[in-house]
Amino acid sequence: MTKAHPTLTERCRQEGLRLTGPRRVILQVLEASDDHPDVEELHRRVEAIEPGVNIATIYRTVNTLAEHGLIERHSFADGRMRFEIVPETHHDHFINVETGEVVEFRSDEIERIQEEIARQYGFDIVSHTLDIYVRPRKG
């Protein structure tokens, strides 16, 4: 048996965050999401489970979760912030410019070269975003 990663709820407890009713639902929605929802979409999904949660609570919760390193914020070209649980292993994103669909990929080689170049410039990498806007190949 491989040991499953700690759930978001467990990680919240570890971080000393309170598990309130609204927060539990938001965590559940985040766990169930395999895409990159924005705040409004999260709100919609939360409302579907338990109506009455204010959108300001979604905003505050994602901010808290991001500050504690439990979720990642993304800002693709459309403006709004999007979120996903911090993945086990880092990945970057293709964004289909026609549909907005997001596809994840990882290149160990690109990651390595980034480190190499940063070192040449005398920098330590804190984080990075590689967003590749694409369209399906014709023919």
Binding site for Mn ion (CB under 5 A): 84, 104
79 near DNA (CB under 7 A): yes
Give CA–CA dist 65/120, Å, rounded.
Answer: 34
Between CA 135 and CA 117 the distance in angstroms is 29
| Complex with DNA: residue 56 or 125, whichever CB lies closer | 56
Q: Two tokens at 113?
A: 């070269």
Annotated binding site for Fe cation: 90, 92, 111, 128
Q: Does 60 bind DNA (CB under 7 A)?
A: yes
Instruction: By CB under 7 A, name the one of 30, 53, 70, 85 that touches DNA.
Output: 53
The 10 Å CB-count burial string (b at 16+, else e) for 76-87 is beeeebbbbbee
Compare residues 6 and 100 and give the one whose CB is closer to its own copies. Answer: 100
Structure tokens at 47: 């409302």
**What's the CA gap between 103 and 95, in Å, rounded?**
6
By the rule CB under 8 A, 136 interacts with its own copies: yes
Binding partner at 60 among Zn ion, DNA, its own copies, none, C-beta below 5 to 8 Å by kind? DNA
Q: Cβ of residue 102: shortest distance to Zn ion, in angstroms?
A: 14
Tokens of residue 114, six digits: 């980034």
Residues that bind DNA (CB under 7 A): 13, 17-23, 38-40, 52-57, 59-61, 63-64, 79-81
